[in-house]
């Protein structure tokens, strides 16, 4: 074995790990219903690959090779533990191997969709769903995700362990949801992906560092979902929404690192290619003729971008979009945004009345509400009250750049 | 759950408390303190004078050692604290992230003993 061989074998194993991790976990778990054991078995298979590929050469079908090793590893573990002394399970696992052709050929089926539905199953703690998807499908570890989710690594690790135990103990089926359950189950998957994206959207001050939250991973997950469900509009709606946001990400900070709101962003710094992909994803979704909340959110983003690019977007059309969103999916965030749209259409007084209609307990802790309120109070000539609201918004912000911007806006009153 | 948020700050931040240039810095703390109090999660909290104003005492055997300055000589020192009542560690970390020193020093979040025997 030369160094080159060893190097290319290692590269092949790493490539297989990156590209196939989720698919292999999905296939193994679909049989065993034990995600943690599948991950262990797969980790062993990757370790074996790093030992044997440099010596024996990279197999023609690396995925099938890894799968076979991992399956044997799972069977060994069962035999030793005698916990799963269940002949039927063993036969199932073996039946798969008979199905593979002897040379380890044949395409490895894509079971990731079922895995995604398992990870976002209602029986699993809602806060665990996004990290569980990212871990099982993309192979991210807890320490990588903890900062993005603003969770202690130990807490996140425990959540993942508990979630996997729950999948096994509750016998959550690795099945495609029934038609009647599909909308809600799909919504849960999409919410998980969007939660992962949100970790990076708030974390703009990390924009200079290579890793900005988990935005890239969330988009990758959504692209996988879109490929697996081309006829479902909402995954494409969510993809469009995230791509619109992503296309503007770089323009949210000046070159000096100061916060730049949408109205003041230099559109030349938007990413035109991502923007185009976003529009295409939204068109794809709307051509499927089934409106959903993520499509409306994407349409709102599309309208915001279009307005900045010079298109005339009637203010009451924006209000109507937010009304549609709230009708499909009420949230405090949507109601705050709607109030801002109302202010554009009917003036700051009407916007403030819309903000007043939101319950106080929902906004105690909600930074966007106080920033919106401060802005509208200022426009309405209530400078003293506006300053208090700016202070509250700054106190609730975790971003030095946003705090500086809010302080400057308060100063200008 | 009760958590103590301990605000660790570099010396440069302690210096800014007195400088005119530190006005924005002080304002960001006032905003933070205002928001945490108005949200109703704060049970109590204080800012502390700079570490050099501290005195550290140790008793070793019969000997008392009294020393000027902080307990440990480190780059970041305790500048203040809050005790908050929130649902869980996630919520406590959210408040920790909002502290102005989170981006310059750091915030340690620790559960508070609330057992009645303590």
DSSP string for A111-135: -HHHHHHHHT-TTS-HHHHHHHHHH
Q: Given an 8 Å threshold on Cβ–Cβ distance, is A397 in contact with B98?
A: yes
Is pLDDT of A56 > 90? no
Mean residue pLDDT of chain A comes to 88
pLDDT of residue A104: 44
Q: Given an 8 Å threshold on Cβ–Cβ distance, is A395 in contact with B31?
A: yes
Is pLDDT of A100 > 60? no
DSSP string for A324-349: HHHHHS--HHHHHHHHHHHHHHH-HH
SS (H, E, C) A239-271: HHHHHHHHHHHHHHECCCCCECCHHHCCHHHCC
Looking at the complex, does the CB of residue B87 fall below 8 Å from at least one CB of chain A?
no
Name the minimum distance, in Å, from the CA of B63 to any CA of chain A.
41
In a 13 Å sphere around the CA of A31, the CA atoms on its Cβ side amount to 26
Average confidence (pLDDT) over A141-159? 90
In B, minimum Cα distance to A410 occurs at B27
Are A240 and A302 a contacting pair, CB within 8 Å?
Answer: yes
Average confidence (pLDDT) over A255-271? 92
- All residues of chain B having their beta carbon less than 8 Å from the beta carbon of residue A259 are none
Beta-sheet pairing, B63-68 with B55-60: antiparallel
Looking at the complex, does the CB of residue B40 fall below 8 Å from at least one CB of chain A?
yes
Closest CA to A306 of A274, A267, A264: A267
CB atoms within 10 A of CB A171: 9
Is pLDDT of B96 > 50? yes
Are A242 and A222 a contacting pair, CB within 8 Å?
Answer: yes
Between the CA atoms of A292, A297, A301 and A306, what dihedral angle is there, to the nearest 10 degrees? 40
In A, minimum Cα distance to B104 occurs at A400
Are B5 and B95 a contacting pair, CB within 8 Å?
Answer: yes
| Distance in angstroms (rounded) separating the CA atoms of residues A32 and A199 | 32
Q: At the topology level of CATH, where does B2-46+72-111 sit?
A: Alpha-Beta Plaits (3.30.70)
Which of A127, A364, A403 has the CB atom closest to B28's CB atom? A403
Model confidence band, residue A108 (pLDDT cutoffs 50, 70, 90): low
Structure token pair of residue A255: 């070159």
pLDDT of residue A289: 92
Q: Given an 8 Å threshold on Cβ–Cβ distance, is B103 in contact with A392?
A: no
Q: Given an 8 Å threshold on Cβ–Cβ distance, is B36 in contact with A395?
A: yes
Give the start-end residues of each E strand in chain B.
Answer: 2-10, 42-47, 55-60, 63-68, 76-85, 106-111
| Distance in angstroms (rounded) separating the CA atoms of residues A397 and A250 | 20
Residue ranges of domains in chain A: 3-101, 112-229
* Tally of residues, chain B: 118
| Distance in angstroms (rounded) separating the CA atoms of residues A156 and B9 | 27
pTM: 0.87
Which of A127, A151, A365 has the CB atom closest to B39's CB atom? A365
The pLDDT tens digits for A369-397 are 999 999 999 999 999 999 999 999 999 99
Q: Given an 8 Å threshold on Cβ–Cβ distance, is A398 in contact with B98?
A: yes
The pLDDT tens digits for A301-325 are 999 999 999 998 999 999 999 999 9
| Distance in angstroms (rounded) separating the CA atoms of residues A192 and A294 | 13
Average confidence (pLDDT) over A344-372? 96
pLDDT of residue A207: 44
Is pLDDT of A216 > 50? yes
Name the more confident of A56 and A5: A56
Which of A155, A392, A394 has the CB atom closest to B28's CB atom? A394
Q: Given an 8 Å threshold on Cβ–Cβ distance, is B31 in contact with A151?
A: no
The pLDDT tens digits for B38-66 are 999 999 999 999 999 999 999 999 999 99
Looking at the complex, does the CB of residue B78 fall below 8 Å from at least one CB of chain A?
no
Name the more confident of A36 and A198: A36
Looking at the complex, does the CB of residue B32 fall below 8 Å from at least one CB of chain A?
yes
Looking at the complex, does the CB of residue B27 fall below 8 Å from at least one CB of chain A?
yes
Hey, of A213, A373, A396, which one would you mutate to test binding to chain B, going by the most B CBs within 10 A of its CB?
A: A396
The pLDDT tens digits for A57-98 are 888 888 889 999 998 888 888 777 765 556 556 655 655 554
The pLDDT tens digits for A12-30 are 777 777 778 888 898 888 8
Helices and strands of chain B, counted as H and E runs:
3, 6
Using DSSP, state whether A182 is helix, strand or coil. Answer: helix
Mean residue pLDDT of chain B comes to 93
């Amino acid at each position: 074995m030369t160094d080159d061989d060893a190097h290319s074998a290692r590269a092949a194993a790493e490539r297989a790990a990156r590209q196939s991790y989720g698919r292999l976990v999905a296939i193994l778990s679909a049989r065993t219903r034990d995600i943690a054991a599948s991950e262990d078995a797969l980790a062993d298979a990757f370790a074996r690959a790093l030992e044997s590929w440099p010596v024996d050469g990279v197999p023609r079908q690396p995925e099938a090779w890894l799968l076979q090793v991992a399956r044997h590893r799972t069977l060994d573990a069962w035999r030793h533990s005698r916990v799963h002394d269940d002949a039927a399970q063993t036969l199932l696992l073996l039946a798969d191997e008979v199905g593979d052709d002897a040379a380890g050929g044949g395409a490895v089926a894509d079971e990731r969709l079922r895995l995604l539905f398992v990870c976002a199953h209602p029986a699993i703690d809602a806060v665990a769903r996004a990290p569980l998807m990212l871990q099982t499908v993309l192979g991210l570890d807890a320490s990588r995700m903890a900062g993005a989710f603003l969770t202690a690594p130990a807490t996140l690790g425990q959540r993942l362990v508990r979630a996997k135990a729950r999948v096994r103990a509750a016998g959550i089926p690795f099945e495609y949801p029934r038609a009647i359950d599909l909308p809600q189950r799909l919504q849960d998957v999409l919410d998980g992906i969007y939660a992962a994206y949100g970790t990076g959207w708030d974390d703009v001050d990390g924009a200079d560092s290579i890793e900005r939250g988990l935005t890239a991973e969330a988009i990758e997950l959504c692209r996988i979902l879109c490929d697996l469900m081309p006829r479902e509009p909402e995954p494409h709606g969510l993809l469009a929404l995230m791509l619109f946001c992503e296309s503007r990400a770089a323009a949210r900070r000046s070159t000096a690192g100061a916060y730049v709101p949408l109205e003041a962003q230099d559109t030349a710094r938007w990413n035109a290619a991502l923007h185009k992909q976003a529009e295409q994803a939204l068109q794809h979704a709307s051509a499927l003729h089934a409106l959903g909340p993520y499509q409306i959110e994407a349409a709102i983003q599309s309208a915001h971008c279009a307005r900045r690019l010079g298109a005339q977007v009637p203010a009451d059309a924006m209000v109507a979009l937010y009304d549609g969103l709230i009708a499909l999916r009420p949230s405090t965030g949507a109601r705050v945004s709607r109030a801002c749209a109302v202010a554009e259409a009917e003036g700051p007084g009407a916007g403030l009345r819309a903000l007043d209609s939101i319950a106080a307990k929902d906004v105690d802790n909600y930074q966007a509400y106080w920033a919106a309120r401060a802005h509208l109070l200022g426009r309405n000539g209530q400078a003293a009250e506006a300053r208090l609201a700016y202070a509250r918004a700054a106190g609730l912000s975790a971003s030095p750049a946003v705090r500086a911007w809010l302080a400057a806006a308060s100063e200008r009153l | 759950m009760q958590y103590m948020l301990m605000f660790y700050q570099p010396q440069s931040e302690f210096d800014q408390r007195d400088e005119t240039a530190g006005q924005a810095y002080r304002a960001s703390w006032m905003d933070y303190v205002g928001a945490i109090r108005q949200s109703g999660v704060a049970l109590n909290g204080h800012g502390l004078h700079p570490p050099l104003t501290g005195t550290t005492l140790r008793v070793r055997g019969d000997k008392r050692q009294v020393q000027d300055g902080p307990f440990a000589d480190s780059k970041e020192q305790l500048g203040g604290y809050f005790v908050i009542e929130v649902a869980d560690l996630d919520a406590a970390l959210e408040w920790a992230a909002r502290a102005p020193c989170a981006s310059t020093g750091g915030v340690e979040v620790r559960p508070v003993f609330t057992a009645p025997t303590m």
